[in-house]
Homo-oligomer: A and B are copies of this chain.
Amino acid sequence: MFLMRRSRCVVLKSRPNPNVDLGNFEMENRNLRPMEQGEFLVKVEYLSIDPAIRTWINTAASYTDAVPIGGVVRSQGLGRVLESKNDKYSVGDIIVGWFGWQEYSISNGQDVYRVKEGKFPISYNLGILGLAGFSAWWGLNKIGMPKEGETVLVSSAAGSVGSAAGQLFKRLGCKVVGTVGSQEKADLCLSKYQYDVVINYKNTDAPIDEKIKQACPNGIDVYFDNVGGVTLDAVMKNINTFGRVILCGTISLPITAAPPQGPRVERTLLIKRAKMEGFVILDHMDWYEHAYSEMFEWVNNGSLVSKEDIFVGLEKAAEGLVRLLAGQNLGKQLIKI
């Protein structure tokens, strides 16, 4: 006898116009469809709240299809297998996958993976050991290629990607400078994430490019960019010969059909023989296991640290996203269901 299971979920009600707000979402209670052979049922325990969700719920040019109106909001989650008709996944397995903003999710095993338990909260698999940490690892190793002694700037330095990037650069012997939007985040970067210098861009005592110049008297060799916009402009004024700009996020820019105006970069990139390259981590999952095994050790031995900012309750998901986009979180934003 099949018992119909109900699952609470958060669906997209309307698109951001232009900003994401609580009214774009609504809670629903939906029947779960029956599981088929090869599938398994996951009880979702944590949701990862990421800046990228802003992109996924917009229809403007992107790297993936937009979440449809009425669709469950796309999101990575971590959960346990509750029932299984799949040989590879057993009841009790802890897995990460694209479960969306809902209590239960049915998966056929595509794009999910089992996680290892260690001396850290299991939810780290959605942050420092998830796509955030992996983004930092990939951007640094495959685009930034920092050398010991180089000066590196990381924007959104206290964020889930930035805080991982900062520590990974430091581990390689770079001088690491961060930009953040609050004193609290600056303190966190200095006390916990090993940044050498942190700039709070909201302190308007001096223009950001002058602050960066002061913090990076030898110029910037690598910039791990999570924000784009005026911070990137300021970096370009201070970029060194053979500099590398890793484009991981553009959270400071609105999502618009036509790009906003800003200072042209082509001549600076030419004169400085510099590079600017964007990446989307989902293209590089073939490197995930390699990166995971490296970072697992460091997280487990306490040399790579993380902070989480956890809201409790699925009904808090939208609020978590709005808060993240406003930069009000402190640490990796998660929802515990």
A residues sitting closer than 8 Å to B (CB atoms) are 61-63, 225, 228-229, 232, 236, 241, 247-250, 253, 255, 258-280, 283
Contacts and interface: CB of A to CB of B under 8 A. Distances in A.
A236 B229 CA distance: 17
A123 B255 CA distance: 52
A261 B63 CA distance: 26
A258 B255 CA distance: 26
A273 B280 contact: yes
User: Interface centre among A63, A247, A248, A258, by most B CB within 10 Å?
Assistant: A247
A277 B280 contact: no
Contacts of A228: 264, 266-267, 270
A265 B260 contact: no
Question: What is the oligomeric copy number?
Answer: 2
Given A63-B241, A241-B63, A269 B262 contact: no
Contacts of A62: 271
A273 B264 contact: no
Contacts of A269: 247, 276-278
Contacts of A265: 259, 265, 276
B247 A266 contact: yes
A259 B268 contact: yes
A283 B273 contact: yes
Contact of A277 (B236, B262, B275): B275
Contact of A272 (B236, B255, B267, B278): B278
Contacts of A225: 266
Contacts of A277: 269, 274-277
A305 B140 CA distance: 42
Given A270-B247, A274-B277, A279-B273, A261 B259 contact: no
A264 B253 contact: yes
Nearest to A254: B267
Given A241-B63, A277-B276, A263 B271 contact: no
A253 B272 CA distance: 16
Given A273-B283, A278-B273, A260 B250 contact: no
A276 B283 contact: no
A266 B250 contact: yes
